[in-house]
Structure 1
Amino acid sequence: MTLANYISNLLYRYECVIVPDFGGFVTNKISAKVNHFTHTFYAPSKQLTFNSHLQNNDGLLANYVATSQKISYQKAIEFIHEEVSKWNRSLITEELELENIGSIHLNNEQKLIFEPTNTMNYLTSSFGLSSYVSPAVKRIAYKEKVTQLETVAPIFPLEENNRKAPAFIKYAAAAAIIFALGTVGWKEYQKIEYNNLVAKAEQQQQKVEKTIQEATFVISNPLPTITLNVAKETHNYHIIAGAFREPENAEKKLQQLLQKGFNAKILGVNKWNLTQVAYQSFNSRNEAINTLNSIKKTDSQDAWLLVKEY
């Protein structure tokens, strides 16, 4: 699996995936929209952008690569570094194509220019929804026809007597009623068809949405590329060794714990912009608490339990 595949998998679950020493791919949710020229409706989606200033390693991509390939964190870092080196060499002479993400090239000022792919929607709540074309209602054309009819056969107010209306007027009135009913019926038909499409997509979504949204990057059975029906473990309980302002200090702490034999990992940056380092992560709360008590006795009284439910 290429580095682009790992990035693509993570973009379903995270708003930002940073490639160390290269840049970050950022997603922003955008609402459903309509193209008034083509009369096309588009489902809500995630807009994908690239920020070349986001280069510090937050541990997300490296941990996911390490878990997927069943290698050490350091080996994962080396793998990412080799891939980035290939990308940079390729950009010197040609455009870089990243599968399911987009293309990147250098402009005249040697700055990276990113063009996202238009075939992927990383918003899981829109899974199964595609664009929908609705024919435009030609109100102006119909209005012109009615105006022409009024010119040819104007309708005058009837005198207050029992004279019958001309047959032409009756037919014109009936045609107007049928036209109005037809327009309303067409709109209702469009609405029913669209609701059916949404209902079918929601049924498909319910089968995969919870698996995608609740999964973290610590997965025992990693996802194949865009294969959403694979069961994944979720580690919600993390024994925290420390949180660091500088990523370099977090990396040092990680190496110390690995040398001591712990299955340590970097969890990423929390809302206070601190990089968290964990002794180990668990599926079972009881197992996590028992291990925490043991660590407090043997290694550090400052260790504590973090519960993250996705």
Structure 2
Amino acid sequence: MQNYRLHRSCRTAKMSYLCSMENIAVHIEKLLTRHECVIVPGLGGFLSYRESAVIRGLQMQPPRRSIRFNALLSYQDGLLAEAVMQSENVGYKAALAIIEREVLAIRGSLGENRAVQFGRIGRFSSDGDNAILFTSDDCSFLPENLGSHPVYLKKLSPLARPEDAHRNIVIQLPAHGGRAWRYAAAIVFIFMLSLLAPTRVDKGTLRAFMPCGIPEETRTGIRPAQKTEATRMETAVPDAPATETVETAAVARSVTAKIAPAATSAPQRPASADRYHLIVASLPSRPLAEKYIGEQTSFPQETLRIIECDGKYRIAAASFSTRRDALRHLDSIRGTHSAWILCH
């Protein structure tokens, strides 16, 4: 009877130890779902870290979280004690006493070279030097590991047979397609010629937008007047009276007088005219240009004039006969006004 009571008391103490240890493991499992590190004072710390995907042969392990144990982390962080306080409805010192009792029980089992299963987290064991060894389980209780089961890959068959790798590929063009190829070649030849053809440039438009630093050279000259000679044709009519001959000569003189003015060349602008204009504004219409002159206070209004060129109405503050004079005047007002030189 006495032996039965002793055996029953030992069995009750063992069950109490296992239940208490399971409760501690459950607390740590819940804490690891919210924290990356949970420390058990006097035992060590459990660390949660992320592993990358791994391929081993035909098995692919998706990314998941694993748990490691570090026996050097033995200080009190308060997480486990707070969980025990809320679960057991005890104070802080009582929670620390429960944790300390469980740590002593685990170390006692390891000292007897017995392995200890610590819930779903892993398994503790010891080596010959009394060092604590920890083997992690699959940690399926972590939220990031839900559904992350290994994937087994199927071995793929070769894409091409060795005898097909050296097979020659022959492309035959239809015999009746020679005319189509000639047409295509002609189209390509015409297209290449169009790319090499010169492009006409409107010099008047280009000169309007030419910067003042690169003036265009223009050569002016007076084309010699062409001499027009009127040829008088006299027709001899045997029976015509003398009065008809006089009228024919008068008509010839009048025709010569009318043709002579048309043969003279148009008057040319003298080479000494002011061709370089200092432009201070460019407007799209004449009314806007006149309004600009009326509102202008930076320059005397009597010196401003409108120059129409290529559909633009430009305001000239001054005009010069040489480019050097225009540039000298432009440098004198460049700091206060935005201006440029037009060669027109």
TM-score (norm. length: structure 1): 0.45
- TM normalised by structure 2 equals 0.41
Q: Which has the larger radius of gyration?
A: 2
By relative contact order (CA 8 Å, sep 6+), the higher-ranking structure is 1
